């Protein structure tokens, strides 16, 4: 007879999860080396389907040439493309940066606004990017940043069954205290990078191994 299936554990209790993550990653923070809201906005756009490490390498030269929205809005597209070539999808991202900067100058005097609604009105800026800027540059808790790590871990831990980032965010916002929305994203991102890998999660050595339901992960992992 086949061995009976092991009962799936319930979702991790959110308070326990937050306590353990904060203990494991006391220095969790935004990995992009930004210096103001505009630089973070630009770097977050560049970070799409790219690594923060690579964006941090590109950023100094980029901002030395175009330090603010007005300068970037006036830059020639081929020059922007050349400057960000290593970031991947450089043509699409160069256009996004150019259009975003022009919108920023025309609508907000070159300074990134402080509301979600205004930020997403900029071309090339979605909800995730807006949440990154608001939470990290302005300290405004407008939502939970749901990147690939946050989405993957939220499902594995049983916090959500959703696949759509916006729906995942809405569910996490109900579970996590508002004061920790930005921090919670950083904590999950750190855990996703260091332990809960997409293909080979290190469950046997994970400090959540005793409580994680490991949804979608082999129990023997």
Catalytic residues: 128, 147
Residues 6+ apart with CB under 8 A from 176: 14, 18, 144, 184
Of 64, 67, 77, 68, which Cα lies nearest the Cα of 105? Answer: 68
Question: Helices (DSSP H) in 66-145: which residue ranges?
Answer: 69-74, 77-83, 90-108, 116-119, 127-137
Two structure tokens written together for 14: 């959110």
3-state SS track over 114-133:
CCHHHHCCCCCCCHHHHHHH
């Amino acid at each position: 007879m086949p061995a009976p299936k092991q009962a799936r554990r319930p979702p991790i209790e959110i308070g326990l999860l937050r306590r353990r993550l904060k203990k494991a990653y006391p220095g969790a923070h935004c990995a992009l080396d930004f210096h103001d809201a505009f630089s973070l906005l630009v770097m977050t756009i560049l970070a799409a389907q790219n690594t923060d490490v690579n964006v941090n390498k590109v950023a100094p030269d980029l901002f030395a040439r175009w330090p603010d929205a007005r300068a970037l809005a006036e830059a020639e597209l081929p020059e922007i493309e050349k400057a960000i070539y290593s970031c991947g999808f450089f043509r699409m991202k160069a256009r996004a940066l150019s259009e975003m900067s022009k919108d920023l100058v025309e609508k907000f005097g070159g300074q990134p606004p402080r509301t979600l609604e205004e930020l997403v009105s900029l071309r090339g800026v979605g909800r995730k990017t807006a949440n990154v800027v608001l939470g990290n540059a302005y300290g405004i808790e407008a939502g939970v940043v749901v990147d690939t790590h946050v989405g993957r871990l939220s499902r594995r831990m049983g916090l959500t069954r959703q696949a759509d980032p916006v729906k995942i965010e809405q569910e996490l916002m109900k579970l996590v205290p508002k004061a920790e929305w930005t921090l919670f994203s950083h904590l999950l991102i750190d855990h996703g990078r260091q332990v809960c890998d997409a293909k080979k999660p290190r469950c046997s050595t994970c400090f959540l191994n005793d409580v994680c339901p490991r949804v979608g992960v082999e129990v023997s992992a």
